[in-house]
Copies of this chain bind each other. A is one copy, B any other.
Amino acid sequence: MSTLFYEPSTRTRLSFESAMSRLGGTVLSTESAGEYSSAAKGETLEDTVRTVEGYADCIVIRHFQEGSAKRAASVASIPILNAGDGPGQHPTQALLDLYTIQREIGRLESIKVGMIGDLANGRTVRSLCMLLSMYNDIQIYFVAPDVVRMRDDVKNYLTARGVRWTEVSDLREVTADADVLYQTRIQRERFQNPDDYAAARGKYIIDRDLMRILKPTAVVMHPLPRVDEITTDVDSDPRAAYFRQARNGLYVRMALLKLCLADGYQPDIAL
């Protein structure tokens, strides 16, 4: 397995590499492909992929451009796993999120999920919404500062599949009703304008006070890294599921790699 990472990562790269090691395979690692690979000399992503597929049996790619993984997959003859394509998608994160909800809540149907934070740029919430639409009786609440509200493409996708969603400005109202609070970081690196960042940051914080109105059976999730949108005194609450969620990434990625590299795999099942 070759990891091609053009953006910083800890969880995703290390959990993929750990997954492949535990399956008995080996890893060709690229920690900062943008600076230290041939991309620095002007090579296109397509050329890089057509080269690397000569050395590896699958490629895990994180890239700063939306659609980059799809472009890579269009020229590759081996499986390409999208580990985040700019503000686009993060499908393996969504799979581990789904697995976490199943393990923590015990079901994937009839749940109420509050999505909080940077919903415009947050590729994890975008991917999770799409996956959740495959299950019955889902209610989604979007809680976002104005400048980073969920984009229409996902809203339309949900509506077309009969998923109920509403935009809510009061986090306490959502907290009292939700089975899952899915908090996300306001991503400074996606903002052009520092004023927009300042306006968005710090508006919706999950702290101990808020946890008092969360149902005993509900959980708090976060794709991590967090900055200050969940205060650290929440960490010891048993409903704080985010570190368990990060660990689930290992198991889900092991399963994905096994699936991709199995005999008879159809690479058109895009991941």
Q: How far is the CA of A9 from the CA of B247 in the complex (A)?
A: 28
Q: Which of B8, B21, B38, B243 contacts A10 (CB 8 A)?
A: B38
Q: Mark A51-76, 1 if CB is under 8 A from B, else 0.
A: 11011100000000000000000000
Asked if B43 contacts A226 (CB within 8 A), the reply is yes
**CA of A234 to CA of B139, assembled, Å:** 51
A30 within 8 A of partner (CB): yes
Cβ–Cβ contact A26 & B21, under 8 A: yes
Which residue of B has the minimal Cβ distance to A247? B54
Contact A55–B15 (Cβ < 8 Å): yes
* Inter-chain contacts of A175 with B (CB < 8 A): none
Interface string of A245-259 (1 = CB under 8 A from B): 011011000000000
Distance of A68 from chain B, by nearest CB (Å): 16
A37 to B36, CA, bound (A): 14
Quick check: A43 and B5 within 8 Å, CB to CB? no
Q: Is the CB of A55 within 8 A of B225?
A: no
- Residues on B with C-beta less than 8 A from A227 are 41-43
B226 in contact with A10 (CB, 8 Å): no
A224 interface residue (CB < 8 Å to B): yes
- A37's partner among B9, B18, B54, B249 (CB-CB below 8 A) is B9
Is A40 in contact with chain B by the CB < 8 A criterion?
Answer: yes
Residue of B with least CB distance to A24: B26
Q: Determine if B37 and A8 form an interchain contact, defined as CB atoms under 8 angstroms apart.
A: yes
Taking CB as reference atom, which chain B residue is nearest A2? B14
For residue A7, which residue of chain B has the nearest CB?
B36
The verdict on A54 contacting B246 (CB below 8 Å), with A5-B36, A26-B21, A224-B38 known, is yes
Interface residue A31 (Cβ < 8 Å from any Cβ of B): yes
- Contact partners of A29 in chain B: CB under 8 A: 29, 31
Can you add 12 more A-B contacts, CB < 8 Å, to A10-B39, A10-B52, A54-B250?
A10-B37, A15-B54, A21-B26, A21-B28, A29-B31, A38-B225, A41-B185, A41-B225, A47-B225, A51-B243, A54-B243, A54-B249
Which residues of A are in contact with B by a Cβ distance under 8 Å? Answer: 2, 5, 8-11, 14-15, 17-18, 21, 26, 28-33, 35-43, 46-48, 50-52, 54-56, 185, 187-189, 224-227, 232, 243, 246-247, 249-250
